[in-house]
Amino acid sequence: MRTELIDIAHQVGALLLQWREQGGRAGQWEGTQFKAAADVRAHAAWTGALTTLAPHILIISEEDAAADNMQRPERYFLIDPIDGTASYAHGFDGFVTQAAFIENAEVKLAVVHAPMLKLTWHGAKGEGAFLGDRRLDVRRSSDRLLLIDNYPEPRGIADALVKRLPATGYVECGSIGLKACRVADGTADLFVKDVVIRDWDIAPADLILQEAGGCITNVDGHDLRYDGASKIHGVIAAVNNTIASNALRLLAAPNEVPMSL
């Protein structure tokens, strides 16, 4: 089923690029989230294709009105039709369309496709993670520590971590899923989001990063599980446990100086 998920992601990605030139950028802010006309259309494209592929499996989408409070079943697809809608609507490259197949609260299959970048990350539980045809493995020995976040310069928790870890550099990027995948492919070494996110933001990249040999938890240091409601207490995505542990320690005790990386 992984091949079919990749094909659907590519199809939706092509539609997103087409719609962006045909008024799909139009939308409005709903709280901290920008909702574009293309979000609903991409949701319809994903759900139609997945229903044809596996009609017996429930689909939960960011665009479902009840998705936030919907109890997660034993087996389901979790989709984010556009992760990074503001980037999409404002003409930037940093958006993805993504999906995960989840069983018994664990991600079993995942795909994250960045149409503008022409890049696709995918993985299967126990079978590895890939960027296109390249198998990903972030396990390495290095003094490098590149932090990734979505502003031209680090702000908030990213700024604090850059200064206090300290980081050796900073990478600007777009959506939550894309940033975590950039850790999985070795472009960056650490991504921290210290506010509540949703399971559809991170579930696909969770599997991809773990299968690449990396580490991902919430900001309390607990593994991510997908058996409850949608809210997740932040995320720490890192290439190894040492970097993740140092970030966790700084979040818990911001005046403490962490060990050398």
Cα 231 from Cα 228, distance rounded (Å): 8
pLDDT value, residue 184:
98
Give me the percent of the chain exceeding a pLDDT of 90: 75
pLDDT value, residue 22:
80
User: What are the residues whose beta carbons fall under 8 Å from the beta carbon of 44, sequence distance 6 or more?
Assistant: none
Mean of the pLDDT values across residues 22-49? 77
pLDDT exceeds cutoff 80 at 88? yes
| Predicted confidence band of residue 82 (pLDDT cuts 50, 70, 90) | very high
| End-to-end Cα separation, the chain, in angstroms | 39
Pairing of strands 190-198, 215-217: unpaired
CB 184 within 8 A of CB 121: yes
pLDDT value, residue 86:
86
Cα 85 from Cα 67, distance rounded (Å): 18
pLDDT value, residue 114:
98
Mean of the pLDDT values across residues 34-62? 91
pLDDT value, residue 241:
93
- Identity (one letter) of the amino acid at 18? Q
CB 50 within 8 A of CB 57: yes
CA–centroid distance for 238 within its chain: 13
pLDDT value, residue 33:
62
Q: Which DSSP symbol is given to 98?
A: E
Structure tokens at 108: 């079993």
Fold: same for 2-135 and 146-252: no
pLDDT value, residue 29:
56
pLDDT value, residue 154:
94
Structure tokens at 136: 């990903």
- Ranges of each domain in the chain: 2-135, 146-252
pTM recorded for the entire structure? 0.92
Give pLDDT tens digits for 204-215. 999 999 999 999
Taking CA atoms, 160 is separated from 153, 215, 256, in Å, by: 12, 21, 12
Strand partners, 217: 236
| Predicted confidence band of residue 68 (pLDDT cuts 50, 70, 90) | confident
pLDDT value, residue 42:
95
User: What are the residues whose beta carbons fall under 8 Å from the beta carbon of 256, sequence distance 6 or more?
Assistant: 249, 250
The CATH architecture that domain 2-135 belongs to is 2-Layer Sandwich (3.30)
Higher pLDDT, 260 or 185: 185
pLDDT value, residue 30:
60
Give me the percent of the chain exceeding a pLDDT of 70: 92
The CATH architecture that domain 146-252 belongs to is 3-Layer(aba) Sandwich (3.40)
Give pLDDT tens digits for 131-181. 999 999 998 877 899 999 999 999 999 999 999 999 999 999 999 999 999
Give pLDDT tens digits for 236-258. 999 999 999 999 999 887 666 55
pLDDT exceeds cutoff 80 at 69? no
pLDDT value, residue 143:
86
CB 16 within 8 A of CB 97: yes
User: What are the residues whose beta carbons fall under 8 Å from the beta carbon of 243, sequence distance 6 or more?
Assistant: 145, 189, 190, 215, 261
pLDDT exceeds cutoff 60 at 72? yes
pLDDT exceeds cutoff 50 at 261? no
pLDDT value, residue 257:
56
